[in-house]
Amino acid sequence: MNTVPKPNRSCLFVLPFLSHGKCGLLPVAAVLALLALCPAGPARAHDDPPDPLKFGPVKLGLDSLVRPEAATDFSLGNFSFTPGNDERRILFRLRPSVTVTPSENLTARVEGQWYAFYDDEDSSLFSLYQGYAECVLPGVKGVSLKAGRQEFVYGSTFLLGADTFYDGLTFDAAKVSWKPAEKFSLDLFGGRYVKKWAGGIEGNLYGIYAAYGPKEALSVDLYGLRDTGGAGETHVGGDHEVTYSVGTRLSGNIAGKKVAFEVEPVYQFGRKNRDGASHNPIRAYGGHADLTIDPSLGRYPGKFFLSYAYGSGDGDPQQGKFTEFHNPNNDTSLIGDMNVIGELSGIVVGDATASGLQVFTAGGGVDLTEKLNLSLDGHYFRANKVPAGFTKEIGIETNLIFTCKIDDHISVLLSGNRFFTGGFFKDASGSGKDISYAYLQAQATF
């Protein structure tokens, strides 16, 4: 649950920043830069040149990101609602890597990460982000082993992703993959959270994930997770807490691949630590249903999408069964891009808790040119459980984003976002101020 005193993105939502000094120049200058960098004409055909960073079996790599960002009535450092507080900072992420592939059956990779942001309280950290070896086991058809520090990313990252907008999420872990046929795969994995790249979380995560594609336009996934992750920036767990998550994911295409759908229900059970000596059972559920439509728009191709996400809540978490759903390791845009809401468990404002959320999302995107895309979406949040006398209306988040793909390696994003706070914020803090957030991001991957 996001605690308070605890990112796909119309000019309307950028305007609040025009009155904040230097920051107001950012959207205008960035739009002009995007138009200059993203020509409307088609790229000329050419043969792919040899990779200048590959030397025989050795491949050098670099993933770099820089993002100046600004927010009003919000703390970027701990993602909290702070009325009257305006913040600006610059975030950097640099991941150099070396990948060695001596044979088609063996790959080793070492990837470091420098993650830093500069504001009133500068922070900088460099350490190993990934370091693993992956091999195909001889004599066993379709079986491979991956051991070392690595990411776990599955499905549409509703329950398990790599936190790609910030510093990532890795585990010191092992994974066995079995793919006996083209339509079926099975992964067994487990490991310990890397605390420095997990928002301070300590604990272990174990899981099984199976995927079956009976036909080209249909996929069925089944999975189970055992998570003992303790308290951290995205967790509200505690010592000796164990959460099991069992879910299924059904995805596919219909109407000649013009409509894509995804449905993913999840049930959670386990035990929640109360006072260090006793536990209460966990019984919670959540999930999402999404629909993406790819209509024929003539000269401007685009997509429209609708989704509904649900997480059960708990009005009295200190008594009886704990019924609040958690998806803390998500990397999904279903709950917005501003991180005002971090997951479906809810939000804490001051001393008041809104537990469990319903999220309705509608949006779309259009390709303005071959290199420039514009998308806009909105998310309506409503709580399932709140204190007596509080409204369940959390608010509406809007996200506008221009994406310019300069080439296959470099992209630039410009985003303006606004969270229109609902009555719950006013009831909990005495302030009904809205939250604004804007950024300009450049990313290069080689």
- Does residue 44 fall inside a structural domain? no
pLDDT at 277: 65
Instruction: Answer whether residue 155 is part of any domain.
Output: yes
Q: Which residues of the chain have pLDDT under 50?
A: 2-37, 39-45, 235
Evaluate whether residue 50 is within a structural domain. Answer: no
What's 331's domain CATH number? 2.40.160.100
- Give the pLDDT score at 276: 60
Number of domains in the chain: 1
Task: Let me know if residue 51 belongs to a domain.
Answer: no
Q: What is the pLDDT of residue 275?
A: 61
pTM of structure: 0.86
* Measured torsion, CA atoms of residues 312, 315, 318, 320, in degrees rounded to the nearest 10: -70
Q: Which domain holds residue 115?
A: 2-6+10-39+57-445
pLDDT tens by residue, 334-362: 999 999 999 999 999 988 999 999 999 99
Q: Looking at the domain assignment, is residue 278 inside a domain?
A: yes
Token pair, residue 381, equals: 């949040």
389: burial class by Cβ within 10 Å (0-12, 13-18, 19+)?
A: exposed
Question: What pLDDT does 261 receive?
Answer: 97
Give the per-residue pLDDT at 17. Answer: 35
Q: Is residue 45 situated within a structural domain?
A: no
pLDDT at 255 (0 to 100): 82
**Per-residue three-class SS string for the chain:** CEEECCCCCCHHHHHHHHHCHHHHHHHHHHHHHHHHHCCCCCCCCCCCCCCCCEECCEEEEEEEEEEEEEEEEEECCCCEEEEEEEEEEEEEEEEEEEEEEEECCEEEEEEEEEEEEECCCCEEEEEEEEEEEEEECCCCCCEEEEEEEECCCCCCCCCCCCCCCCCCCCEEEEEEEEEEECCEEEEEEEEEECHHHCCCCCCEEEEEEEEEEEECCEEEEEEEEEECCCCCCCCCCCCCCEEEEEEEEEEEEECCCCEEEEEEEEEEEEEEECCCCCEEEEEEEEEEEEEEECCCCCCCCEEEEEEEEEECCCCCCCCCCECCCCCCCCCCCCCCCCCCCCCCCEEEECCEEEEEEEEEEEEEEEECCCCEEEEEEEEEEEEEECCCCCCCEEEEEEEEEEEEECCCCEEEEEEEEEEEECHHHHHHHCCCCCEEEEEEEEEEEC
Evaluate whether residue 48 is within a structural domain: no
Domain assignment present for 314: yes
